[in-house]
Structure 1
Amino acid sequence: MSDRDAAGLVARARREVEAGAGGNRFLDLLEAGDLPRERLVWMAVEEYRIVRSDQRSFALLAARYPDPPSGDLFLELAQGEGRALNLLDGFAAALGESEKNLNARDPLPFAQAYPAHLAQRAAFGTATEVALAMLVNLEEWGGYCARTAHALRGRYGFPEEAVAFFSFFAEPPPGFGERALAVVAAGLDAGDDPVEAVRCARLTHAYETAFWEALAAGL
């Protein structure tokens, strides 16, 4: 299957994801300066768990699919999560919290649906599924992170080191789109199911939406 076929599958997945897209009440409140500070602590609690889980999920995918282009892509993503985990300490410090204190808190179940889904796909899914899900959803996630960093600086007075975690994710790694597309094309050539791949992208988006909704619940 050609790169053109892979690009067509990406376009199809994006259309299906966009059809189910909605607003983000958490970020609306954050940008208005109306989000209780405790909800930022909630966010830090969830992100520590999510990033550690995603790092292991991408490492598992790199082990399951070590050959290029998949192995290179998933190893890069795992390493990126490791860098992000270190940057998250700055956000916690600005909240007056430590990673140890945050890890002692119970997570919100629906906020952890996304990493649970990724871990399941890392163990049982295909490289095509995960690469397509990341490719289709990463731009929206990056936009949310950019909005978060901007609001934290402008509305809450956070310094740059405190929002570096969000700034890190605001833009995809250089060349990520091309490398992810190559993984999708290779997987389709190998016989991966395009229907399952699109379903994974759609579910990934739904679970990310659940993360933001969980953080804003009751506000």
Structure 2
Amino acid sequence: MADHTAAELVARAQGEISAAALPNQFLDALERGQVPRDRLSWLAGEEYRIVDSDRRSFALLASRYPERPAGPFFLTLAEGEAEAFRLLHDFAAALGMSEKDLHVYEPRPLAQAYPAYVAQRALFGTAAEVALAMLANLEEWGSYCGRTASALRDQYGFGETAVAFFRYFAESPPGFAEQAEAVVAAGLAAGDSPEDIARAPRLLHAYETAFWDTLAAGLI
């Protein structure tokens, strides 16, 4: 993979993620109105842990790589997670879950593999690895969030305030792709391993798949 450009790594990673995509059984059930309300509390409880962890991970990356383009990129992501964390409480409130309920919720291990990997890379990995992983998986994650918001509205009667958390992630922030690719390019220029950078999106995708599979366990 020597001499690959950032654009080539992005294209390859996006192609691999697209090829690896499988049906999302949780969302399929959600769109049929077949997810019981207590399972929706799993979604809120798991995201409560994930968003808080990702916010910290992105802040750590910004501190490790403070110069442009990585520093501003990860600071923006950390700020975005903080906003998402606020919106998540509206979803939880619609389920009748308080802050205490979210805090005492017992997370499922495989549902938390995704933020654990992000935190690991934030501590031990490179900015380019995380930037490519987030970029390559963004389209699928965004589509899943859009489907979740629509299903909660159409099948469960949730209002727009309650689903705003999912709407927030359904669209990529302006300039996100360009900024992420710039971080990858900077990493390559600094001598980061293209193999390590390319591996991160595949692993992140596998861990995100585990999240959705955990939510679907026993439903089908």
Do these two structures clear the TM 0.5 threshold for a shared fold by scoring above it?
Answer: yes
Q: Distance in 1 between matches of 2:39 and 2:198?
A: 32
Q: Which residue of 1 aligns with 2:9?
A: 9
Structure-to-structure mapping, 1:1-219, within 5 angstroms: 5-219=5-219
Deviation string 1:38-76 (CA, Å, 9 cap, x unpaired) is: 111000010000000000000000000000000010000
Give secondary structure in 2 for the equivalent of 1:29. Answer: helix
Q: By how many angstroms is 1:142 displaced? A: 0.6
Q: CA deviation at 1:137?
A: 0.4
Q: By how many angstroms is 1:77 displaced?
A: 0.1
Structure 1 residue 99 displacement after superposition? 2.1
> Hey, what's the Cα distance between the residues in 2 that align with 1:65 and 1:172?
22
List, as ranges, runs of 4+ consecutive aligned residues in structure 1 with deviation greater than 3 Å. Answer: none
**Counterpart-to-counterpart distance in 1, 2:105 and 2:173:** 32
Distance in 1 (alpha carbons) for counterparts of 2:118 and 2:37: 29
Percent sequence identity is: 67
Work out the CA distance in 2 between the residues paired with 1:62 and 1:93: 32
**Paired AA for residue 41 in structure 2:** V
Q: 1:126: how far off?
A: 0.4
Q: Deviations over 1:122-181 (max 9, x none)?
A: 000001100000110011101000000011111100011000000000011111011111
- Shift of residue 102, structure 1, vs aligned partner: 2.0
For 2:24 and 2:37, locate their aligned partners in 1 and report how far apart those are by CA, in whole Å.
17
Shift of 1:206: 0.4
Listed as ranges, the gaps of 5+ residues in structure 1 are none
Where 2:5 maps in the other structure, the secondary structure is: helix
The total of aligned residue pairs comes to 216
Q: Could you tell me which runs of 5 or more consecutive residues in structure 2 were left unpaired when the two chains were aligned.
A: none
- Rounded to whole Å, the distance in 2 between the matches of 1:44 and 1:71 is 29
Deviations 1:174-198 (A, max 9, x none): 1101111111111111111111111
TM-score if structure 2 supplies the norm length?
A: 0.96
> Matches of 2:92 and 2:106 in 1, distance apart?
16
Output the CA distance in 2 between the equivalents of 1:103 and 1:139.
30
Q: 1:18 Cα deviation (Å)?
A: 2.2
